[in-house]
Amino acid sequence: MYSIKKVSELLDIPTVTIRAWENRYHVVSPIRSNGGHRLYSDKEIETLKWLKEQTQEKGMKIGEAVHLLNQKGIAGQETSPTPVPIQGGHKDYQQLSDELFESLINLNTSQSNQLIDLAFSLFPFEDVFHHILTPVLHKIGYQWELGNVTVSQEHFSSQLILQRFNHYFRILPVKSHLPKFLAFCPEGESHQIGLMLFSLFIRAKGSEVIFLGPNTPLDSLLTIIDKQQIDVVAISITDPAHVEQIEEWVQSCKRKFSTTKIVLGGQGFKNTPLSLSDSVLSYDRKQWASWFNSIIH
């Protein structure tokens, strides 16, 4: 029998995803130890592994994979099981985004969390951040600029979604042999969504990321790079006014740490100086994956 932490490590599935699949779809039924902890059998591990293959390798939604699981009886049941009702199985990214937007501006914590939980149970977690949570934040920000959303509503929404980012950021396993990252937005840059998404992508790959977030002063960063043995520095800006100071800082960093790699992203780097152009990545997860593979091989 295996603990949920061990199953997560063996299959590279976050524990929150295992719990969501278990609670919403009842695809596994772990027994409980005397201390109340979940314990999974080899058969249940095979079921979870199969679900992961369908969702990640074949691109199925989890609800579709569960339906196929029930049809095939792959869980090893002797008789054909009754298909599990898929709550919200017909919801798409747009519908969930619209419902979540309304729930957030109404300051409804319970309903907002339920919708986000549903999204994570239906789609791979990175897709939820890219196709639901981030568009909702952008929409709320745009409506705030128009005067249709208050500061309180914007802060409530941002903090609730940031909690989800922090949760996944914390639980994803770290593989010590992979490069160690430092991620920040410079002082004066408050938009961190792009940096968060890139950092989450890197964490999902197994790298450790020291995430400093927005409005980070540059003066102490070289010391951090030295003490923490940082391999890669990720910087994000939306305002091109920061490019000059970033260019100077990058040059200083490279003089002191010749092997440290720099990666840059955000609209602020749209018209990049030649000295930085090789370090800029677009908002494209395929390009991120290709770049990440290039630095670890």
pLDDT one-digit tens code per residue, 259-290: 999 999 999 998 888 889 899 998 888 899 99
- CATH code assigned at 147: 1.10.1240.10
pLDDT at 24 over 70: yes
pLDDT at 81 over 80: no
pLDDT at 249 over 80: yes
Tell me whether residue 79 is in a domain.
Answer: no
Which range of residues forms the domain containing residue 43?
2-69
149 and 187 in a single domain? The answer is no
* Mean pLDDT for the chain overall: 86
Tell me whether residue 85 is in a domain.
Answer: no
pLDDT at 85 over 80: no
Closest Cα partner for 179 from 133, 221, 127, 233? 233
Please give the pLDDT value at position 71: 65
Across the range 184-196, mean pLDDT stands at: 93
Return the exposure string of 109-131: e unless at least 16 CB atoms fall within 10 Å of the residue's CB, then b: eeebeebbbbbbbbbbbebbbbb
Closest Cα partner for 107 from 150, 69, 71, 68? 150
Q: Is the dihedral of CA 129, 133, 136, 142 positive or negative?
A: negative
Across the range 203-207, mean pLDDT stands at: 92
229 and 263 in a single domain? The answer is yes
165 and 182 in a single domain? The answer is no
Could you say which DSSP state residue 25 is in? H
Tell me whether residue 36 is in a domain.
Answer: yes
Tell me whether residue 77 is in a domain.
Answer: no
The model's pTM is 0.68
154 and 205 in a single domain? The answer is no
Tell me whether residue 257 is in a domain.
Answer: yes
Tell me whether residue 16 is in a domain.
Answer: yes
Across the range 47-67, mean pLDDT stands at: 81
pLDDT one-digit tens code per residue, 86-134: 344 446 889 999 999 999 999 999 999 989 988 887 788 888 999 999 9
Distance CA 261, CA 57 (A): 30
215 touches 185 (CB < 8 A) = yes
In this structure, how many other beta carbons lie within 10 angstroms of the beta carbon of residue 289?
Answer: 12
- CATH code assigned at 181: 3.40.50.280
206: left (phi over 0), alpha (psi -120 to 50) or beta: left
4 touches 16 (CB < 8 A) = no
Distance CA 262, CA 38 (A): 42
pLDDT one-digit tens code per residue, 121-174: 778 888 899 999 999 999 999 899 899 999 999 999 999 999 999 888 888 888
Which one is predicted more confidently, 168 or 293?
Answer: 293
- Last residue of one domain, picked from the residues 143, 170, 197: 170
Amino acid at the residue 16: V
